[in-house]
Amino acid sequence: MNQPVLITGATSGLGLETAKVLAGQGVPLILAGRDAKRSTAAVDSIRAHAPDAEIELLELELASLDSVAAAVAELHRREVAPLRAIVCNAGLQIVDQVRSSADGYEMTFAVNHLGHFALVTGCADLLAAGSRVVVVSSDVHQGPRKSMGFPAPQWRDPRALATPDTDGAAGRDGRVAYATSKLANVYFTYELARRWAERGITATAFDPGLMPQTGLSRGYPAPARIGFRFLAPILIRVMPIARTVTRSAADLARLAVAPELAETTGKYFTGADEVPSAPESYDEDRAAALWQVSAELVEAARRVPPAERR
């Protein structure tokens, strides 16, 4: 497979639509997902759009660092280098309860940040000059003023984010955890851009906007999910931050492969536009600390059985 794009969370929503855009351009794809049936269905859906699409599947559960390590090993076994891009798209939002990953870390942090960190850094030698990493973030990292009242992120020591004190209000609020994970995405992107600049590997962060048609609200109570689905067409027309999945997918695909963005790195995009991220997202000390702690957690997973990581 010649210079494929690896996409996480490509079985539905933004990831699937982005895969369709790229397949239509003749870009080989590796779809990383945890559910074999949904992955196979995604391939069928993509090939209905692009019959000649070159697609491989990769088993990946971002909530398990062992699964991420196995996926990285499988990519090395397949000798897929160099990857054209890694699109870190998968994400979740939990609002009803505090949940832990297979490794004992707060689930939102584990999936939205740590699993992707492990995947990208594990694939370092599968990337070459000209390769890109695109991380899907969100404007909720900017706080209520930019995100229609969504609570602001609450940044703390990265180890506290991985294993929060659930007795506090912040530790119980899944929306805060989500917003904070999206800030972590931006820190990771900017630190990656700095660390890998000499290798010619670029990193950009992407805000797809509010996409009422996707499944990100699946963690909300049923009445909210139903209302969100029925209001989707109206929201897309009247809310500046609301966008269709098709439109956001085209913008995400552009970040992954467009020639005019080959040298763009360390930048934040909302849709097709390069815009400033939150002022606190430019804190290089925080970004470096997040990288260091994330690397330590991933290394610990290599050496310590899951039951002993809690």
* Residue 161: partners with Cβ closer than 8 Å, 6 or more residues away: 106, 109, 155, 180, 184
* Residue 302: partners with Cβ closer than 8 Å, 6 or more residues away: 69
Cis status, amide bond into 82, omega within 30 of 0: yes
Cβ atoms 205, 185 nearer than 8 A: yes
- Side-chain-facing half-sphere of 87: CA atoms under 13 Å: 32
Cβ atoms 212, 235 nearer than 8 A: yes
Catalytic residue among 105, 178, 190, 220: 178
Q: Could you give the C-alpha distances from 274 to 19, 207, 220, 242, 267, in angstroms and in order?
A: 22, 10, 31, 17, 7
Bridge partners of 55, per DSSP, are 29
Does residue 178 have an active-site annotation?
yes
What are the b/e assignments for 213-242, b being 16+ CB within 10 Å? bbebbebbeeeeeeebeeebeebbeeeebb
Closest CA to 137 of 209, 197, 63, 74: 209
Beta strands 267-270; 273-274: pairing state: antiparallel
Inter-axis angle of helices 115-122 and 284-303, nearest 10: 80
**Token representation of residue 201:** 């590997």
Residues annotated catalytic, as ranges: 178
